[in-house]
Chains A and B, each alone.
Chain A
Amino acid sequence: MTCSQFLALLDDLIDDSVTPELRAGLQQHLRGCEHCEVILNTTRKTIEIYRSHEIYDLPAGLRERLHAAIMARCKKGC
């Protein structure tokens, strides 16, 4: 397996949607390729960081104000 072939399957590997045979092939490539191992680990970390950190928070005051506005109009029948 080449690095390009590995990269083409990177998402499937991360999303755990590869067959056991394919997974074995990908793991074999990883054992001999430090670059692809770094890409796999840092791409996983990238997703994890974006998933676990709130970068656009909705402050409680604003949330309540928007919520009240929505519900007031819904009660009037929009």
Chain B
Amino acid sequence: MATIQPIAGELEPHPDVALVDRVRAGDVSAYDELVRKYDRQIFRIAQHITQNREDAEDVMQDAFLKAYEKLDQFQGNSKFYTWLVRIAVNESLMRLRKRRTGKMVSIDEDVETEEGSVPRDLADWAPDPEQNYNQAELAEILRKTIQGLPQGFRIVFVLRDVEGLSTEETAETLGLSIPAVKSRLLRARLQLRERLSRYFRRNKVGEK
């Protein structure tokens, strides 16, 4: 006989909910678990935005401390991780503002580009092109390439494609509309692709 199966994920609360509840009830060790679970991601996001290691260390500490202080304000209608990322993004932008005193820094910076641009470099890449570089060289190429993107594109790409947030979560985290996230993501992906082509393109037979 056919039985009605519950849809996975619909009835089960996210495991973070129980941890958050324990912290609210005064169990600090549950917060320890949450920090260990997300510290790498928060550090990475902070590095991508501030592009400075010391700032990223400060942001990571401040973001986790702020989240702890404000845990009562966490509503639970978004995921704890998304809420934490929003705090970390804001802390990172604040840190940048301090560094560039007097200059406003926002995720809307430097995103003016022409609409509908068709990529210029259409060369195909070698199969597994990253194997032509050692780990350190490759990391350097990837860092240099993503650092060259406008801030507003870089944050969207990192949250959506590297950290795996959904379009809706990225929009909510950055205070952007969904079409704005989509348009920035497309531009970010295409610009990164074009810049990486410099390193990964296949050399045609007979090409010097």
Contacts and interface: CB of A to CB of B under 8 A. Distances in A.
Interface of A: 3-4, 7-8, 10-11, 14, 35, 38-39, 41-43, 45-47, 49-51, 53-56, 58, 62-63, 66-67, 69-71, 73-75, 78
B35 A71 contact: yes
A59 B196 CA distance: 27
A77 B83 CA distance: 20
B46 to A, nearest CB: 9
Nearest to B190: A43
Interface centre among B47, B68, B125, B189 (most CB of A within 10 A): B189
A55 B143 contact: yes
Given A7-B118, A74-B68, A78-B65, A50 B146 contact: yes
B142 A42 contact: no
Interface residues of B, number: 46
A38 B196 CA distance: 13
Dominant secondary structure of chain B at its interface with chain A = helix
Contact of B185 (A11, A35, A41, A75): A11
Interface of B: 28, 31-32, 35-36, 39-40, 43-44, 47-48, 56-57, 60-61, 64-65, 68-69, 116, 118-119, 122-125, 129-130, 138-139, 142-143, 146, 157, 161-162, 182, 185-186, 189-190, 192-193, 196-197, 200
Given A11-B186, A55-B142, A67-B32, 10 more contacts: A10-B186, A45-B125, A46-B192, A50-B142, A50-B162, A56-B44, A56-B56, A67-B35, A67-B36, A75-B28
A66 B57 contact: yes
Contacts, number: 107
Contacts of A47: 161, 189
22 contacts: A4-B118, A7-B118, A14-B189, A38-B123, A38-B124, A42-B196, A45-B200, A46-B192, A49-B130, A49-B142, A54-B139, A55-B139, A55-B142, A58-B39, A58-B44, A67-B32, A67-B35, A71-B28, A71-B35, A74-B65, A75-B28, A78-B68
Given A11-B185, A39-B193, A66 B60 contact: yes
